[in-house]
Amino acid sequence: MSTAAVIQLSQVNRIFQVGEQQVSALRDINLTLNAGEYVSIMGPSGSGKSTLLNMLGLLDRPSSGTYLLDGVNTTTLNDEQQARVRREKIGFVFQSFHLVPRLSAASNIELPMILAGIPAEQRKLRVDELIGSYGLRDRADHRPDQLSGGQRQRVAIARATVMHPAVLLADEPTGNLDQTTGKEVMALLERLAEQGVTLIMVTHDPKLGQRASRQIQMVDGQILASTET
Ligand code: ADP
Ligand code: MG
């Protein structure tokens, strides 16, 4: 396993302006994660977990500080450059799946490859491979509202990994699933981590969080503790 830093945050702050008020969602965050690490982020509601994950996923920008992804300073990239880095390096899995309602399971999985300009033949092969490995063969043509929660999250994970991202971010990925289905989804994510993906998962379930090799505790926009097991 490589020990090169894939993520380096230095003095990252995120301040939201809400009317007259300023909310400090992240305060002076310093964080280095190595390639292939499996990390959980825990902490009370409102402690900044999602804000941190969105930052890592280039869905949001710091108010101050720098974010190096694979050695590239993302903070100085424009939106278009950031979008390209996001497509190439990052996969995102959300609690509420965020699938495109009108598209079939197969088309949802294919979407990032269309955005990346991958030729149709190559797309078809890769979608077929993922449909098979995620047990979605008989659901490929179904729309999200025709799928169970577990099937939707499998589609979402397939979509998140279709471009072979180095970093997979998951925000409460089992939060909308029953316990059995949640375990299945965790097993899929952990299999990806074993294959070398850097997996960063937000959870408020300590039992799930403890499965990661490194646990980050957030309180009030700050990293309170980072422990390794
Ligand atoms: P968590 O995921 O740990 O529950 P969040 O990262 O969602 O916490 O939120 C951290 C803090 O930032 C909270 O006080 C929240 O109200 C605030 N916040 C998050 N997103 C926004 C936003 N888009 N606008 C204003 N305030 C926000
Ligand atoms: Mg959250």
pLDDT at 1: 44
Residue nearest (by alpha carbon) to ligand 1 atom 26: 16
Task: Determine whether the shortest distance from the Cβ of 172 to ligand 1 is under 6 A.
Answer: no
Task: Determine whether the shortest distance from the Cβ of 21 to ligand 1 is under 6 A.
Answer: no
Return the residue matching tokens 């499996």. Answer: 38
Q: What is the largest CA-CA distance in the chain?
A: 53
Residues with CB under 5 A from ligand 2 (ion): 49-50
Ligand 1 centroid vs 107 CA: distance in angstroms?
32
Q: What sign results for the dihedral spanned by CA atoms 122, 123, 126, 129?
A: negative
pLDDT at 2: 46
Ligand 2 centroid vs 52 CA: distance in angstroms?
9
Q: What contacts 24+ positions apart, CB below 8 Å, involve 51-54?
A: 51/14, 51/25, 51/26, 51/221, 52/26, 52/218, 53/169, 53/171, 53/200, 53/202
The tokens for 207 are 């039992």
Task: Determine whether the shortest distance from the Cβ of 220 to ligand 1 is under 6 A.
Answer: no
The tokens for 182 are 């949640």
Rounded average pLDDT per 10-residue block, the chain, 229 residues: 80 96 97 96 96 97 97 95 94 96 98 95 98 96 97 97 96 94 94 96 92 96 88
- Rounded to two decimals, the pTM is 0.94
pLDDT at 29: 97
pLDDT at 3: 56
